[in-house]
Structure 1
Amino acid sequence: MANYPSIDAELLRSFVAIADHGGFTRAAEAVNRTQSAISMQMKRLEEDVLQRSVFERDGRQVRLTPEGQILLGYARRILKLHGEVLTTLREPHMVGSVRIGTPDDYVMRFLPGILSRFAQAYPLVQVEVHCEPSYQLLQRRDLDLSIVTREPGTEIGQLLRRERFVWAEAPGFNTHEQRPMPLAMFNTECFCRAWACNALDSLEIPYRVAYTSPSLSALMAVVSAGLAVTAQLQSLVTADMRLLGEAEGMPELPMSSIVLLRSERNQSQVSETLAEHIVEGFRL
């Protein structure tokens, strides 16, 4: 049997962070290490452990090599199992409570699976969910964890995923052809509303914000009735909706980042374990 070197979990954790954040600097912040320490870890991983390059370097940008892509899949599985073993054996009867804040957008799309898996593993933990827009969650200091949407370049916390905003309307309607085009959008404090309006202004498409609500389900009900067009993250648009793009004369919308914030004052094993479930759930 070949005597291969073992791969330290910390090496894999740093490697995954680089892949997720697109560079060494942000990865170092995510895993609470210096950039030089991350660089030394990756040098050790490539030269001593794998004897293969896992990154292609282009200035400050890094991309995964084919071998790196293969390693990324294994690394995620190994770290997931590593975390499950430790939490199951060290905290088999974890008790306590955790307060999580999230916009209404993500409650139906992501939270059911996340909370279901967490409850199966830790049935004695009480989870308190607060649904508020991102700009309000950013101002709160009483939550253990918060999931918020951020504009590119303003990311803080741990990146969960990046997604593009898309236009959507009900099938069977041509609401986007109405002038002014009726929109169903979140309230004025939401930056995605400004993005949508600015994009339409750039093409000189007349519009009016006909419906507003802090609730995604309310907005989608309006859109489903053929009363308005909306702009939302692509994962939040249900399969029964019609996506609109260049062919329909609609402007392209930018990418957005979904991030996880941890409280600086209320850190605990319970909240960190739920945070791990949230990170995994947003990758599914």
Structure 2
Amino acid sequence: MQVLDPDLLKTFLAFVDGGSLAQAASVVGRSPSAVTAQMQRLEEIVGEPLLVAQGRGRGLTPAGEDLVGHARRILAVHSEAWLALKGARAAGRVAIGTTQDFADSGLPELLRAFATSHPRVRIELRVGRSAELGEALQAGQLDLAIVMRKTPANDEVGLFSEPMLWLCSQKGLAVREEELPLALLDPYCGFREAALATLDAAGRRYRIAAGSASLAGLRTAVNAGIALTLRTARFAHSGIVEAPRELGLPPVPMAQFAIRLGQGAERPARDLAALLSDNLALPGLTS
């Protein structure tokens, strides 16, 4: 019996979650040709085709769809075993910085898993904005950080992408007007830059109807129906939903995020960075 290599399964799930081989290549840090070779190797092991031509891209065969659930379970058990063996005797502290989106969605579950496998490690958590967290990491105030990626950095140990979405109150906009009302974080914000650049390129008129220095303020403005905003699916809860198609909003790019590890980080921080790199991306999203 041949073994299902976890690296091959990670690449397979990167395709499933990203929707294309090119996106999978970006997520796993390999060339598109290397990703294609990995998928061919996985098909050889399984003994059946996993991908099929679908329009301009590729989709999953029935065997591919069956493999998705198995792959997620195999990688979850693999990660659990790896953490348990490495973390049982580890001690010390890990200072982690994250943006509010991940503090609300995804990170709590992974910190729980880390605390279970590293019971003697103290966690210090800092929530802030990407630029601030990057500066703190470089200053040695953080061991690792989850940030929105603006430019490549030498300390990146994990990359993943999630679709940006136009979001609004589930009750809709309070007032319909010719100019599109936007709620945006104060500069600098990658989502702000993407929203304005996209609307400018599309020739769509807009006005900044609400600004905030925090995601809590942004959420209040969007929930009130004052304006819509641009974030990821992590922000779409508690009364906030994807904006309806009738608004005719232009398509937006993927948001790219990085797990960055500080220079000289000790083993517990490296273990946590590996756990986040493998598991933080939202499953089941397509580009």
TM-score (norm 2): 0.74
1:46 aligned to which of 43, 47, 66: 43
* Residues 96 and 63 of structure 1, relative CA distance in 2, 3 Å threshold: farther
AA aligned to 2:191 is: C
AA aligned to 1:167 is: L
Match of 2:74 in 1: 78
Higher Cα Rg: structure 1 or 2?
1
Cα deviations across residues 174-217 of structure 1 (Å, max 9, x unaligned)?
23x1465543211122232233334445354342x243223111
Match of 1:185 in 2: 184
Alignment pair present for 1:123 and 2:119: yes
Q: Distance in 1 between matches of 2:191 and 2:245?
A: 19
Match of 1:215 in 2: 214
Match of 1:133 in 2: 129
Q: Distance in 2 between matches of 1:178 and 1:39?
A: 48
Match of 1:107 in 2: 103
Query: How far is 1:81 from its partner?
Result: 0.7
Match of 1:144 in 2: 143
Cα deviations across residues 205-252 of structure 1 (Å, max 9, x unaligned)?
342x243223111111233344443332233022423543332x3413
Q: Distance in 2 between matches of 1:43 and 1:222?
A: 48
Q: Distance in 1 between matches of 2:35 and 2:71?
A: 16
1:171, 1:242 within 8 Å by CA — same for their partners in 2? no
AA aligned to 2:119 is: P
Match of 1:95 in 2: 91
* Residues 234 and 70 of structure 1, relative CA distance in 2, 3 Å threshold: same
After TM superposition, the structure 1 = structure 2 runs for residues 225-244 of structure 1, keeping only pairs within 5 Å, are 225-241=224-240, 243-244=242-243
Match of 1:167 in 2: 167
AA aligned to 1:257 is: A
TM-score (norm 1): 0.75
Match of 1:246 in 2: 245
Show structure 2 runs of 5+ residues with no match. none
The residue matched to 2:164 in structure 1 has which SS?
strand
* Residues 57 and 245 of structure 1, relative CA distance in 2, 3 Å threshold: closer
2:169, 2:224 within 8 Å by CA — same for their partners in 1? no
The residue matched to 1:219 in structure 2 has which SS?
helix
Alignment pair present for 1:12 and 2:4: no
* Residues 134 and 263 of structure 1, relative CA distance in 2, 3 Å threshold: same
Q: Distance in 1 between matches of 2:231 and 2:23?
A: 30
Q: Which has the higher contact order (CA 8 A, sep 6+)?
A: 2
1:245, 1:252 within 8 Å by CA — same for their partners in 2? no
The residue matched to 2:273 in structure 1 has which SS?
helix
Q: Distance in 2 between matches of 1:238 and 1:29?
A: 26
Identity in percent: 28
Q: How many residues align?
A: 274
The residue matched to 2:237 in structure 1 has which SS?
coil
Q: Distance in 1 between matches of 2:27 and 2:183?
A: 37
